[in-house]
Amino acid sequence: MTRTVLATAVALICLTFAASASAFEMKRSDRLTAASLGAPPEPHPLTGQGQNLELVANVPIDPGTQGVAASDLELHGNHAFVGSYGEGLVIVDISDPVHPKRAGKFACPGGQNDVQLSPDGRYAAMAVETTSNKCHPGDEGTSIIDVSDRTAPVEVAWIGQDKLVDGSHNNTLDWPYLYVDQYTNTYSKLEIFSLADPRNPKKVGGIDYGGQDSHHDLIVDHRPDGKSFAYAASINFSDVIDVTDVTKPVLRERIRDPQVSISHQAEPNFDRSLLLVTDEFGGGAAGPGCGGNPAASVPGSEAIPPQIKDPASIGALHLYRLEKNGDLAGSNGLDKAGAFNIPYQANDDPQKGCTIHVFWQAPDQNRLTTAWYGRGTRVVDFSNPAAPKELAWFIPDDADTWSAKPHNGYIYAGDINRGLDVFRYTGEGGDGWPATSGPAEAQRARQQGATQQGGAGGNPGGTPLAPAQSSADGRAQGKRSFKSKVRVPNRKRSRRATLVVTFKDSAGRIVTRVRKRVRDNGVRTLKGSITGLAGRYRYSVRLGDRGKILKRGTFVVKQRRGFQSGIRSDQALVCQLR
């Protein structure tokens, strides 16, 4: 997911605003920094401006000669997996979110290095989109990396130009399937590989779009009716594809909204009533301004094409209604429920973009966290799609934010200039999502259908599918209730306190951490439900992240025969507090 170098538009209406961002990419390539010349990067200050978000930590990453420290990232257990043009894949230990530290790296400077993780967090698929990369020079494609040893990741397979026409821009993992996303007209194909044997990827299916735009990004939705649909953002189009049988994907719908310049990311919401599509206007940096509905008197706004000036916005989030069967509602799929954007403002630094970029949704409500390039990290509530509202935002000094995703109560943002930033949501007294977010891998496992046997497609192309397992390494799983009474001390400045509950396995490893806002001055009862690997666990309840430990205890998760949760990793426990 990058500031896109646009292909030739296929419709004349696009030519008025879909200008190439190649000049912007050249500026990125020419930017040299002290870090790229050999000096180690210094941590960036935890300063900036915002509301209801607190910047609590930064891990600097070398931006290299292309000037992009961090691109997209994934989260799993106690680690963040950060793609970087300057370094490759950087693995960061986030067991203490306020004091993160580097754990390891797969060195591959050059290229976008978009990263995706398998449900169990063992394998990463990294998109390498330039022949000038340092790990496969002269070639481009996708690297399959075993990251089970976080300190020493190792490549186990390479899908190069012998199998791909034009490398990989993004990847989408729907385990064990890898969808290669590459939007250019010269590529114009969807290609699907099986990673059932990660060391031996095999192509199992695809679609040829015959020169039209193909996918920039997609997500697969495993529906309760047994079907699997891929929702794809395809630059000039947004697509719905039936991938129930991955060997024979079928394009169900392809819509074009003239109010969307670049369809960059497309996902259904949690209850499948809406499709969210983001517009990376002009590749993120080409517009004269950013934000919603400029008045004609704003300098530069006359250059904005009228078809997107009103009622839509530059670089916005667009919300479309979905039918119950998964199709886009309305004539030609243009039943728009609403749009969200930040207030209009001049693009005062074209080096930084000012459109929406990579987002992550709450698993059970209409909320999301999102990066907004030079306008930082945002939290949005779209429970009323006709009038979405912003709950929080923060723009760190020198921010140029690529991705922002929640995990165990914190938001982790990959920033082009700053590397990895860590935020805490302070709105709603810390009681609302994303402050209450659980582990990202639990949601990712559900998204990837980790407990399924591959859907109606069966056993494609003779490639054996990885069997659904009840736990990591076949170990037993179970679930139980959690209840703990804690005496919370009175504090003069606040009537509420944040309790941080940390769970460790029998080896002393942190397996999850949960935050809960409660009233202070009295005995409070924490109740919740626990799902995880069978075994003995210890927990501690701390006042805040670094305050006094109020209580310690132990409990046992007993095996339930036949029980499956999709947890197959070192993140062996999930706790949801009520």
Give me the pLDDT at residue 563, please. Answer: 66
Bridge partners, residue 527, by sequence: 483
State the chain's mean pLDDT as an integer: 81
What whole-number distance in Å separates Cα of residue 146 and Cα of residue 135? Answer: 15
What whole-number distance in Å separates Cα of residue 304 and Cα of residue 139? Answer: 39
- Of 85 and 302, more confident: 85
Stretch 384-404: mean pLDDT: 96
- Residue 210 pLDDT grade (very low, low, confident, very high; cuts 50, 70, 90): confident
Give me the pLDDT at residue 5, please. Answer: 30
- Residue 453 pLDDT grade (very low, low, confident, very high; cuts 50, 70, 90): very low
Query: How large a percentage of the chain has pLDDT more than 70?
Result: 79
Q: Is the distance from CB of 309 to CB of 290 less than 8 angstroms?
A: no
What whole-number distance in Å separates Cα of residue 278 and Cα of residue 284? Answer: 11
CB-based burial label for 330 (10 Å; 0-12, 13-18, 19+): middle
Q: Are strands 189-194 and 177-181 parallel, antiparallel or unpaired?
A: antiparallel
Stretch 311-338: mean pLDDT: 86
What whole-number distance in Å separates Cα of residue 360 and Cα of residue 403? Answer: 9
- Residue 302 pLDDT grade (very low, low, confident, very high; cuts 50, 70, 90): low
Cα four-point dihedral sign 161, 165, 168, 174: negative
Please name the residues in contact with 237: beta carbons below 8 A apart, sequence gap of 6 or more: 212, 213, 254, 255, 256, 263
CB-based burial label for 555 (10 Å; 0-12, 13-18, 19+): middle
CA distances from 8 to 211, 434, 534 (A): 10, 39, 55
Give me the pLDDT at residue 259, please. Answer: 84
Least confident of 14-28, 171-185, 309-323, 400-414: 14-28
Give me the pLDDT at residue 131, please. Answer: 82
Most confidently modeled of 27-31, 403-407, 446-450? 403-407
- Of 10 and 118, more confident: 118
Least confident of 54-63, 73-82, 123-132, 170-179: 123-132
pLDDT(205) > 60:
yes
Query: How large a percentage of the chain has pLDDT more than 90?
Result: 49
Exposure letters 343-380 (e unless 16+ CB within 10 A, then b): ebebbeebebbbbbbbbbbbeeebbbbbbbbbbbbbbb
Tokens of 255: 């819509």
Give me the pLDDT at residue 26, please. Answer: 25
- Of 29 and 135, more confident: 135
Q: Is the distance from CB of 133 to CB of 140 less than 8 angstroms?
A: yes
Domains and CATH numbers, the chain: 12-443 (2.130.10.10), 473-577 (2.60.40)
pLDDT(306) > 60:
no
- Residue 293 pLDDT grade (very low, low, confident, very high; cuts 50, 70, 90): low
Give me the pLDDT at residue 298, please. Answer: 58
pLDDT by residue (tens digit) across 13-25? 222 222 223 222 2
Stretch 292-321: mean pLDDT: 66
Least confident of 193-207, 303-317, 389-403, 455-469: 455-469
pLDDT by residue (tens digit) across 475-507? 678 888 889 999 998 876 667 788 888 888 887
Q: Is the distance from CB of 80 to CB of 92 less than 8 angstroms?
A: yes
Least confident of 54-68, 206-220, 406-420, 564-578: 564-578
CB-based burial label for 61 (10 Å; 0-12, 13-18, 19+): buried
pLDDT by residue (tens digit) across 411-434? 999 999 999 999 999 999 888 999
